[in-house]
Structure formats: structure tokens, C-alpha cells
Structure 1
């Protein structure tokens, strides 16, 4: 049923009555009557809308109608009364992915350059000199648009050169493709909020969500931009900004290819070009001895670059900088300024930031697991990802290339890659598995001992298929309960958190916070090893949390959650992206969107019904 209303009038009256805290949302924190009467302008029939969720839905539908700038419009009551699960999933599928999609070309450049992180008076776009087509396209566009400047990166650049870009930071170009009438940017999907660029490991999880929602072409476009970055910037970047040129991200490129070929029979030339690039990345980014490959034969995160990372806001490192400012007899802000600009150098502090830059490469920025130690660790997460690379490459060579694959400098068979995977599994069992604790721990290869920090990354080998049945059972029976809260698993255990000073900053990837990638990888691992009922439970817990917060808080889908309070209200470190919007969330948050769609693929019909009732997990499991 649809009713006709005066849009602006109803909009104003609804907010005046129900948005008592005036935050341009209707949430459980408002203290209005939670009952609003709509009058059909045609029939004068009165329709009563009650409850936070339905009133918030009305506000969202009104916000969409206001965009048409018309006096009268029709409200669809079916949308107001839509079940929460169906509404959230539909908006992700129909709206959020499109709102998060970007291109770097004539059409999309303005949106990319004019965001809150652009600090230059005239925004700068950097293009690799190796991208001859891209250099010409963007230099021609520079003359036409005259609202940005193009910088050409030399084919071979040093860390010192990258450091000079900090005084003139900019966005990095991504792939172009020839369409019928013009070159266009290959699309990518951003995480959301202040993140207006393509992020490395976010993009994999986003790709999973896109594939579920029948947008395989966008997932393939993400793969194209992964390939472009490896060829032109030497790695899949933390994100495509100039100050991330020294930093990669967790390796998930092969996993994206596997998800794509599950959905459609691949064009072999397309797959061949991507498999070549995956192998190139594996060999040149991850397997260079002394860089990210260590003397143990296992890998670490190891960013290049020196000193404080450019992107961090002033004050973020005050707990670290205070003693050094005192040592150099400077006020902390002045010390920070001089150190960031490298007019003042401190070797001890530089060493700290080797680890800090590396933990940002891990995607876990930040966690006490990696503070001041990351570059010393054969971490469980990166070695799980690389084991998966090795198994994925073996599978693709055997399944699609008749067990022989020629790259520019080597001929490979699936057995070559299976041997690499077997070696890594053996070393992980030797150095990282802890039988007594029933967990995998990072191995400090410098000090030759395990680093016994209980982190959710202990479940990554389960996802990668690296565990024995014995290890899998111990992880699920003994380790997993330490991480479970009402709404999913925390980034670390409360016990590990207790080992650090109460005065230390609260780290957003540690207890009590919960993140979508940890949940997704756990679910896949549980299913892979046959823990079907436990997988149902863990999916339900996370989807309950997302649904509850969306119902109570005007459709909010944030970056992460506080699992102690089952809330999106997170104030650690960087706050919570995806919570700042007026009237209606138009994009959610990339990997949380993906986790919702993926979880619904797993969850059985009965649990979906319970989810719409918001039945507490404790009442079901």
C-alpha cells in the first residue's frame, strides 16, 4: 500500500517529534512518543507508525523522497514495515555497493580528489611512468578540467623519493579500460566513510559480497586493479595514496580469483594474466630474503619507509613521543612536527616505527600483538594467507592449465606449489602451533620464541586449510570459547589484553572489539572442517549484532563493534567509520556489508526467522 504525503511537512514534523537529541536520526536513544500518524493526502486516511525501527524506516524513505525535490510523494508502507533482515540485505544489494563504487577517470575524478584527506591546495594525481596510456590520458584531462595536477612517478623510485611526496601527497591512478567511445577507469569499491580510496584486504571481502550479490564484473574489476597495482607500483597497496607506496596489505589476491572462477567459467587468457601476476607478487613482494621472507623460511610483514607514518593524525602517538620530546627538550607538538618532517632524527624511535609501519601493512592497525614487535614476527596471519596462495596457485594450474604453467622466467606444475605449501605447513607446526594452549602463536624469529598473544588470527590456519583434524578440534573446542561474546568473536582475548598497562591506549583490533574479516574467515574455516552447527551459531551471533544495531540506530552499519556492549559506539583510536550520516545511511561499510550477505548464504531458514525477531544468541545456542 502506498500513501501520498507532503514530503517536507511530514519530514519536519517527524524530526521535531521523534529526533529528540537532534542528531538527524531516529534511534533507541531518542525519547519521543515513538508513535507518528501519517495522513494520506488523497483519502485522508490516517496510518499509525510505531516503534523506533519503523519510524527510522519512515525517516529513511522520506530522505530518499526529498532528493526528488517535489512537494508531494508516495510512501510505500511495505518499505516501512519491511523485515529487518530483508531490508538490510536489499539495501546492501541494491544501493550500498553502487554508492561505494568509484572510478578514476573524467567522470569520477572529482569525487576521488575532493575528500577530507586531500591536503594540497590543488589536488594531485600520481601516475606511474610505466603506464604510458594513463600518463597521456590524465595529462590531457588535466588541461581540460584544470582542477587538479598530474605527477608522473619514475619507473624506479626509492624510499627517499617517496618521502619527498609527503609535502605534496596525492592519490595514485588505477587501471583504465577502453570502452566503445572512450577510456574509462576500471571501477573499484571503497570501504566507506572517510575511506575514499581502494584498500587492499578490504577489497577482497568486498569482492566476496559483490559476487554473492551477482556483481561479478565488479569483483573482476577489483582483480584488475590488484594486477595494475602490482605491475605499476610493485605491490597491492595498503591504499592508492602516495604515502602508501612503501606498504602492501594482507595477500588475498589468489582467494579473490578462486571466488571468481567458482562463479563463472573463466576466460583462460584473463585467468592466465592474473595467475602470472599473483605469482609475480608472491615472488617479488613476499619471497625476497631479508625483506618479507625471514631466515626461518616463514614470512613477516615488513613495510619500507622511515619514521612516523604520514597519514596518522597529530596526537595519535603522544604516549610514544612524550619521552623522546623530553629527551630532545622540545614540546611534544614541535617534536612531532620535526620528527615527521625528518628535520630531527632519532634512531631508537625510527626502530619503533619500523614495527608500526609493518603492523599497518598487516591490516591490524593497531593491536598490542604487533606494537613494537611486528617486523620480528613470523605472524600466523600472513603465513596462513601465503599457504592459501600456494594451494590456490597449485589448484589453478592443475584445474585450468593442464598442470603446466609458464611465466616469464619459470615453468611450474601444481606439485611445485604443493611442495611450497607443505614446507610452510611443517614450519608453522614447528614454530607457531602451541599444543598446550591449543592455539597458533606468532613466532618471534629474532628472539627465537613464540609470542603468546591470544589473537583471532589463530583461526586463520583453519580458514586456509592448514590444520590437522586434531588441531582443528582443539581450536574449536578449547581456543574458540575464549573469544566468543554475544555478537561474535573479539580480536583478542580479555586475558591477553590484561597483560598490558591500564594506561596504555585501547587498541581497536584487540578485545573487546569485533571485526568482519575475523568473523568471515572463522566461518569459512569452521565449514571447511565440518563444524557446521558451530558455523551456524557464529554466523547468527554476528548477523544478530549487525541487525540489532541497524534496527536500534537508524540503519547504521559501522566498520566494527564493541562486543562487550554489543554496540557500534566505539571510541578507541580512530572511532568508528560508517556511523556519521544524516537521516539515512547510503553506503554502510564495505566488509560489514559483505559479511551480512555472506552470512545469510550460510544461515539456515529457521535462524533467519529468529534473526528478524532479534532473538538473543544465548536463547538459541
Structure 2
């Protein structure tokens, strides 16, 4: 119990002063579609007025929402009332991207991406429906994703760095800092319906990218913001007890260490996937609020959805995200603690630096204890309610290698399994399960290619890393040369088929694919020739 008391004391010293400012400062000024429109919102979504559930939450009301609701109540029983006509009368549809951009097939894929950056860049604008206005320019992923997204942006920044767009990186970092200062955390994206959850905490890694461009000293400018971000993830740590071991995103482990999980404060259907969530809750045969909480927590993970969150490893109706201690999340928070340690040293506060160093060491020890399965020689997520690893292999296992947390023998075993089971003709596959979910086989995603390649390189597995990079660049290039597009995700197992799964069609644009592709070509200059060659495959 000494360990428990000591860790909790550190959180009281370092986190509590910042956790007092977590409530959104601008909440009363914002438009919340589901809350403000009530039954109107529910009916529009349940009747599928728009094919994509995200469309209506992104619509802009043309007058006070209260007046629109009043008009709806007065008109809905009248003969000939048509819900879609009413919506089109009272709301402006989401702004569509400029369709004047056309792919020039004579351009290489890298030239195409350079032309795409301005198309994906949004300027600060006026208040617009559920969109939270940001003070600086930012890059959106593309397609239906018309706003900035948290973890996407780190991988996009890798490409912006390669393109020399340092000021745009600065702008995006400053936007996220603005969100921390005004809402208490970085939400999933800059929409009001995303405010109740975050995404994988990559803010500290974004600061590292900016520091590479502008010097290490710039980290000091963001020290206060990173402390607030950390306080958001650690909120309630000082309240944990053996009788009540979990609160929001923190969990007290049996040995007294504290690890994190994903969470969402609002157990309601997601506005942007309202019908899908309601239908799942009916099918699952569980309490609807329980399903909604688990679904939203998985959405915070960025892996929405994957069998890594399912109790039976197969069916989404068994989703149990809040019971799981994700290995990737805790590796990210380990890095955040080390970054806070470095910031304290830069500020000349050696005492605080030692405190963050101790927290990082305690987290590393806990991850190696709870997330490592010695029998399988692999990192897994950990179910704190059953006190076992989930034993569902996924690329989340590479995160301890990416952040140099793993012991060398562990890294070797992980690398061997990646080579044997995950490396596919087009890169690395996300999990080994064919479930129909988009964060499972046969799909590959740009962020996980990058994390895996760098993780392997960190421990000297350079051949495997180069194999993945080559296959991914080849696949991206072939699809671009055939379709003129860069996609959100790819089928890395059968190169003749597109990626599938998910609640919406595969999107093109695409922010993090562009970013990782450019960064890999800069890391492996010999891959440039792939982008200039004729396509190898027919899709």
C-alpha cells in the first residue's frame, strides 16, 4: 500500500491544481444538435432523412433552434407534412468541399499531395452550427470529415513537416492548445457533439514535431496546456480506492499503480451515428446506456470499431471498452509524463521533473506487468475486471516499442509475431480477426503503419520495417495511379479489393494517409522511385 499512497500523493501534487479547470468555459455559447433539437433531432436520425447520420448534426440552423423546434411541433401533425422538406427549409446543409479540384494523373503521388494541402486546409471562420470555431488555419482529413481530428492531426503533421509547412503545424498545435484552454481537453474533433470524449493523446508528440522545427525551447510555451491535458486524463486519480478502483479514465490496479482506460461522460447515442447506436442497443439485449457508454469509449480510442474491445472477440454487441486497459493509451501517457518531465527541466524545476519521472517509471513498470503476456510473448490489452490480458492480437502491441518501454527480449518477440502474422502484401494488418469491423483484418491504416515501422526501427528490426514501408508506399501509389485518390484505409491482404467495414463508405482525401506517405518517402528516399513508376497492380 506504500506504493499506492506514494503514487496518489504525486497526483495530488501535480494533477489536482489543473483538474479544477476542466469544465468547458464556452459550453453555454454552443449549439448541441441532439440536446437543442430534442425530438426533431431524434426523428430526423431515426427516419434516416440523410443517408449519412453525420449530415444532420453538421447542418447549420438558420434561426434559433428553439424557434425551429416550436415550428416543428406546430407543423408535424398537419396534413402533407414532410420531415425532409422541413429540415431543408430550416437548416443549411454542411458545406461541401470545393469540387473544382481535379486529379492530374501526370503528377506523381507526392506532387498530388502537395497540391492537396491547400484543398484540405480550412481557415478560421465564424460560428457555424455544431462546429467549434478555431483561431488558426488547420487541415481536415477529407470527405465527410469536415473538421479537425485529434490523433489524425499528428500523422498529418508528419507530412506537413516533410512539405516544410512549419507555420501550419504551429497553427494546428495552437488550435489544440486553444481547445485545452477553453474546453479543458482536446476533444475528438472540433464539434460540440465530440466534447464529451477525446482521442488517443498525441498532443505531446505534436509538440515534439514542432520542437524539431523550431527548437526544443518552444516546449516551454506549451507546458501549462500539456499539464491541463494530463489532468484531464488523470482526473479522479486521487479518489481511487480498492473498493472503488475506477473513475472516468483512471483505474487503480491491484499493486497500487494507476493505469488508464477510454471513457465518455455521456451514455447516449452518438449524434453522428445516432441510428446505428440505437439499432445496436436493441440488438445487444443490454441496457442501452451501457452500450452507448462502451461505444463512445471505443470512439475515443480512435479504433471504432475493433474486436479488441469485444468480450467474445467477435460481436460488437459484447463491447466492453471501459473494462479494458489499452496498451497503446498507456504508452502514450508514458510519453506525456516524460515530456512533462523534460518541460520541468527546461523550466529549472528539478523537483517536479523527478516527480514526473517517477510517474513515468511507475507506468512503464505497470504496463510491462499487466499488458505483457509471458506465455504468448506479446503485448495485449488488459481487462481489469477479469484480471487477465484479452489475448486479442493487434498492432496496439507496437506502442511500447515505439516509446522504448519494452525490454529487448520483449521487443524481439513482438517483432517476430509482427513478421509472422501481421505483415501482409500491402503493409501490416490491424488485427488478425476478419470481423467486418473497419479496425480489423483485412484493413491497414496509415497511423499504424507509421507506429509499427518506427517501433521496429527503434529495436534494430530494420529489414522488417523497410518491408512494411515499401509495401505500403507501393499500395498507396498503385491505388492513386488507378483511381486518382488517397484513401482513409486500405485492404492490405487482398490488393485487388478495397478496404471495407465501418459505419460509412471509405473516404478519400486523406489527411493521415498523405502525411505518413510523405514522411515514409523522406525516411526511405529509395521509395521515391516507386511513386514515379507505372502501377504494378490492377484493382
TM-score category by the smaller chain?
0.7 to 0.9
Establish whether residue 483 from structure 1 lines up as the match of residue 443 from structure 2: no
Structure 2, gaps ≥5 residues long: 1-99, 238-246, 311-318
User: Which of the pair is proportionally richer in helix?
Assistant: 2
TM-score scaled to structure 1, two decimals?
0.63
Establish whether residue 467 from structure 1 lines up as the match of residue 429 from structure 2: no
Distance (whole Å) between structure 2 residues aligned to residue 536 and residue 236 of structure 1: 33
**Aligned match of 1:98:** 118
1:558/1:576 contact within 8 Å kept: no
Distance (whole Å) between structure 2 residues aligned to residue 285 and residue 318 of structure 1: 30
Distance (whole Å) between structure 1 residues aligned to residue 443 and residue 413 of structure 2: 24
Question: Structure 1 64/515 Cα, relative in aligned 2: closer, same or farther at 3 Å?
Answer: closer
CA apart distance, 1:316: 5.9
**Aligned match of 1:539:** 469
Distance (whole Å) between structure 2 residues aligned to residue 89 and residue 312 of structure 1: 34
Deviations 1:410-433 (A, max 9, x none): x622x2222111111111111110
Distance (whole Å) between structure 2 residues aligned to residue 81 and residue 382 of structure 1: 41
Name which of 274, 292, 296 aligns with 2:222.
274
Establish whether residue 245 from structure 1 lines up as the match of residue 157 from structure 2: no
**Aligned match of 1:164:** none
Establish whether residue 517 from structure 1 lines up as the match of residue 447 from structure 2: yes
Name which of 344, 352, 364 aligns with 1:412.
352
User: Which of the pair is proportionally richer in strand?
Assistant: 1
2:281/2:291 contact within 8 Å kept: no
Structure 1, gaps ≥5 residues long: 1-62, 67-78, 114-123, 125-169, 177-185, 325-346, 406-410, 498-504, 580-587
Distance (whole Å) between structure 2 residues aligned to residue 531 and residue 616 of structure 1: 27
**Aligned match of 1:144:** none
Q: Report the structure number with the largest CA radius of gyration.
A: 1
* Equivalence map 1:47-196=2 (5 Å): 81=106, 87-93=108-114, 95-105=115-125, 113=128, 124=129, 170-174=130-134, 176=135, 186-196=136-146
Deviations 1:190-216 (A, max 9, x none): 111111111110111111211111001
CA apart distance, 1:218: 0.9
CA apart distance, 1:358: 0.3
Distance (whole Å) between structure 2 residues aligned to residue 549 and residue 210 of structure 1: 22
CA apart distance, 1:521: 0.7
Establish whether residue 286 from structure 1 lines up as the match of residue 246 from structure 2: no
SS at structure 2 position matched to 1:301: coil
Shifted more, 256-265 versus 245-254: the winner is 256-265
Question: Structure 1 461/511 Cα, relative in aligned 2: closer, same or farther at 3 Å?
Answer: same
Deviations 1:445-469 (A, max 9, x none): 1121111111111111111111111
CA apart distance, 1:480: 3.7
Q: Size of the alignment, in residue pairs?
A: 418
**Aligned match of 1:312:** 273
2:477/2:530 contact within 8 Å kept: no
Aligned CA RMSD, in angstroms, stands at 2.5
CA apart distance, 1:271: 3.2
1:549/1:567 contact within 8 Å kept: no
1:544/1:614 contact within 8 Å kept: no
Question: Structure 1 64/557 Cα, relative in aligned 2: closer, same or farther at 3 Å?
Answer: closer
2:486/2:510 contact within 8 Å kept: yes
Distance (whole Å) between structure 1 residues aligned to residue 106 and residue 292 of structure 2: 52
CA apart distance, 1:363: 0.6
Distance (whole Å) between structure 2 residues aligned to residue 447 and residue 424 of structure 1: 20
**Aligned match of 2:283:** 322
Distance (whole Å) between structure 2 residues aligned to residue 614 and residue 475 of structure 1: 35
1:439/1:479 contact within 8 Å kept: no
CA apart distance, 1:273: 3.2
Distance (whole Å) between structure 1 residues aligned to residue 339 and residue 506 of structure 2: 33
**Aligned match of 2:330:** 383
